[in-house]
Copies of this chain bind each other. A is one copy, B any other.
Amino acid sequence: MSEERRQAVLRAIVEGYVATHEPVGSKALTETRALGVSSATIRNDMAILEEQGLIAQPHTSAGRIPTDAGYRSFVDHLAASSLPEAHRRAIGTFLSDAVDINDVVERSVRLLSQLTRQVAVVQFPSLRESAVRRIELVRLGAERALVVVVSADARVDQQTIALGEAASDEAFERAAREVNEVAHGLSGARLEAALSAWSAAPGQAPWASLVAQTVLTAARGGTVERVVFAGTSNLARAGTGLDADIIAPVLDALEEQVVLLRLLHEMAGQGDDVSVRIGAETHHEALSSTSIIAAAYGRDASSLVGALGPTRMDYPGTMAAVRAVARYLSRVVEL
């Protein structure tokens, strides 16, 4: 009754399959791995593993490959492994001289895709509530205007609004002056109160509430959620075992930010370390042949970094890289 050996066998199968991309048989295992038992014993273990649904054979007389559940078990029994020193240094040098938050995210996603040789995904950090520093209103035409909000924490948001009437230059200038006076230095509930008082004042232009709304959204931490990714070519690179008709939907899902965002949100909830979704666990048709490994970073661990690749991927290595990049990002973003 060697439960541990069965785990070892599973581990060996996963590692073997990941390395060779070919079903692994009982004999091959006894030769390449030091398990200390004969192939017959392994076969018995395999029978049990198969009964448990952890491995499967593609053809009656072929070796075994792990199922999604098999990978899952493998990952769950995994001791946290550490990142090669070279990679660790790469993170430091690669990210250290980023100039702004955009740049940080951009560099991170490229770095992670190189470290993991998978598609890397970084969700833009959600930003904290911040005070208003300066508001610019810029006319775009007779009935449209641009609202630019510079926050105290050096974020810049912009949004075009439709005025809904041909506002006079004078009214426009006055609104710009007033809203700066009213909102400057405020945040949160006080900002909201001040702005709604201003926009509801008698004689106020009808579009003032639009301006107020825009400013409030910006102060609350930015407008849209966004995910950037890099390394899509890793999906197609030789040896992934994914062919064109399986890659296309994945690329679609990536460009379709919505899908990815929902998935990341789902993953954000659980655990504080690295979180893994394998194959069908992504709950998304297009991603059913891929796994995604994600880790939270930033304040309140509210944003996510991740790597996405074929279910047959190097889990320990990828997990280590994702973890490391997430840690580094946390340091950079929280400062």
Contacts and interface: CB of A to CB of B under 8 A. Distances in A.
Interface of A: 99-100, 133-134, 136, 138-141, 146, 148, 150, 152, 154, 156, 158-160, 230-238, 240, 242-245, 247-252, 255, 335
Nearest to A234: B248
A325 B249 CA distance: 26
B244 A238 contact: yes
Given A233-B252, A245-B238, A158 B160 contact: no
A140 B103 CA distance: 15
B242 A244 contact: yes
Contacts of A139: 154
A251 B232 contact: yes
> What is the oligomeric copy number?
2
The binding surface of chain A is classed by DSSP as mixed
A252 B233 CA distance: 6
A133 to B, nearest CB: 7
Contacts of A242: 244
Given A156-B148, A158-B156, A232 B245 contact: no
Nearest to A241: B244
Most B Cβ at <10 Å: residue of A99, A133, A250: A99
B233 A238 contact: no
